[in-house]
Amino acid sequence: MDIGTISSRYAKALMQYAQSTGTEARLYDEVRTLERSFRHHPNLRDALNNPILSIREKLQLITTATVGEGEASREWGRFVTLVLRNRREQHLQYICLSFLKLYRKNHHIATVKLITAVPPRRATWERIRKKARKFLHANIELHTETDPAIEGGFIIELADYRLDASIATQLKRVKKQLIAKNRRIV
């Protein structure tokens, strides 16, 4: 069976379960936290794929990655137990991504990624959020990153658009133009 098919079926089932129990928002937060844990700790996938670990140990690992020392929701615990009993833990990251996509689509949420050389001020952050909301006609989930390599300016990714107004990119463009001009002269 295809990874995309498995993950989308489990994500749809989780969405329907969350809607029937009225816990969509809490499950969204838990799934988003787990997906972030998968991105920041690649060894988490390796640990889940380890056949030596029992279902209970894998459940504890997932719960810790999701809520830390806190208490996970009953619905999330039941869903993760279902995934582990069906031996689908290798698909859990893709299930999370599919669920996040479904939730955002159902609740008209768009994600916007802002990359700057220094952390943006709160006023700038809010202004970008308002403009993006007006442009996309959706609620905005703004993620910020700092990357000193861009040297200044910003890179913004919203929907299928990417606006690169960084100093590093502009310098590369100028360099290419100078090289092209020098080739024509010689």
| CATH code of the domain in which 50 resides | 1.10.520
- 82 and 120 share one domain: no
How far, in Å, CA of 9 to CA of 25, rounded? Answer: 20
Last residue within a domain, chosen from 67, 86, 105: 105
Same domain, yes or no: 120 and 81: no
Kindly state whether residues 31 and 99 are assigned to the same domain. yes
Res 2: pLDDT: 58
131: CATH: 3.40.30
pLDDT score of 82 more than 60: yes
Question: Are 38 and 93 spatial neighbours (Cβ–Cβ below 8 Å)?
Answer: yes
pLDDT digits (tens, 9 = 90+) for 136-164: 888 888 888 899 999 888 998 887 889 89
Between the ranges 29-33, 122-126, 155-159, where is the mean pLDDT highest? 29-33
Do both 92 and 138 map to the same domain? no
Q: Which residue has the higher pLDDT, 176 or 1?
A: 176
Question: Are 13 and 83 found together in one domain?
Answer: yes
Average pLDDT, the chain: 89
Which residue range forms the structural domain that includes residue 124? 109-185
| Residues 49, 137 within the same domain | no
Q: Report the relative pairing of strands 109-116 and 139-146 from DSSP bridges.
A: parallel
**Structure tokens belonging to residue 43:** 């060894």
Average pLDDT over residues 91-105: 92
pLDDT at 69: 80
Q: Percentage of the chain with pLDDT > 70?
A: 97
Mean pLDDT of 108-114: 89
Residues 21 and 101 in one domain: yes
* pTM across the whole model: 0.80
Enter the DSSP assignment of 41: -
Query: Domain boundary residue among 105, 122, 153?
Result: 105
Specify whether 136 is located in the same domain as 90. Answer: no
For residues 37-61, give the mean pLDDT: 90
Q: Are residues 124 and 96 in the same domain?
A: no
Question: Among 105, 135, 163, which residue terminates a domain?
Answer: 105
Whether residue 100 sits in one domain with residue 147: no
Q: What domain count does the chain have?
A: 2
The pLDDT score that the predictor gives to residue 186 is 60
59 and 130, same domain (yes or no): no
Contacts of 126 (CB under 8 A, 6+ apart): none
| 19 and 98, same domain (yes or no) | yes
